[in-house]
Amino acid sequence: MKPQNPKQLRGAGIAFLGAGVAFSAAALAAGQAAFIGVATSFIALGVVFLARARRG
């Protein structure tokens, strides 16, 4: 497996975190519970990408 560039991983992590926060805000504004699950998964992906960027 080819190692990833830490800058690319960091950028993807920040993007996933931003999307997660946006979905959280949409869930609160619209009162839709489905967005909470999507937001949680995006935030988790963002944390994983940022952790891999920091490790690498």
Residue 23 CA to residue 19 CA, distance in Å, equals: 6
- Percent residues over pLDDT 90 in the chain: 68
| pLDDT value at residue 56 | 66
| pLDDT higher than 60, residue 1 | no
Residue 41 CA to residue 23 CA, distance in Å, equals: 10
Residue 51 CA to residue 45 CA, distance in Å, equals: 10
Q: What does the CA dihedral 43, 47, 48, 51 come to, rounded to 10 degrees?
A: 170
Mean of pLDDT over the chain:
90
pTM (2 d.p.): 0.84
